[in-house]
């Protein structure tokens, strides 16, 4: 049971970090928001937001929200990208028998 709890905490922390790294995610604004801490302190039986539940785990590893690298999400779906052209013709030559200039 303890191993399962550790796995859940790790996955929850990873998910919170993933939410915070995507600028277009609407849940980003409240995932790690400190403004709601007092509200839940007054109501201990209320289930806290995911960000508040993993806050202690993240602080234990030295996490600071300002350190999150945010990456933009492409508006073009991946299946519409042009496929890269890969030249596999060098596969026909044995490395030990071919001049380095050729490679």
Q: Which letter does DSSP use for residue 58 in this model?
A: H
Query: Using CA atoms, how far apart are residues 53 and 37, in angstroms rounded to an integer?
Result: 10
Task: Dump pLDDT digits (tens) for 64-81.
Answer: 767 676 667 778 888 998
What pLDDT, on a 0 to 100 scale, did the predictor assign at position 88? Answer: 86
Task: Dump pLDDT digits (tens) for 8-58.
Answer: 888 888 887 777 777 777 777 666 666 777 777 788 788 877 777 787 777
Task: Dump pLDDT digits (tens) for 86-101.
Answer: 888 888 888 888 888 8
Q: Give one DSSP letter per residue of 23-41, joined into a string.
A: TT-TTHHHHT-GGGHHHHH
What pLDDT, on a 0 to 100 scale, did the predictor assign at position 92? Answer: 85
């Amino acid at each position: 049971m303890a191993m399962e709890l550790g796995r859940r905490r790790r996955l929850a922390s990873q998910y919170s970090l993933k939410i915070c790294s995507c600028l277009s995610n609407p849940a980003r604004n409240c995932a790690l928001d400190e403004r709601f801490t007092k509200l839940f302190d007054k109501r201990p039986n209320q289930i806290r937001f995911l960000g508040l539940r993993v806050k202690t785990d993240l602080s234990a590893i030295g996490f600071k929200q300002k350190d999150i690298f945010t990456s933009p999400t492409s508006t073009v779906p991946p299946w519409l990208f042009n496929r890269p052209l890969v030249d596999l013709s060098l596969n026909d030559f044995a490395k030990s028998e071919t001049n380095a200039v050729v490679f």
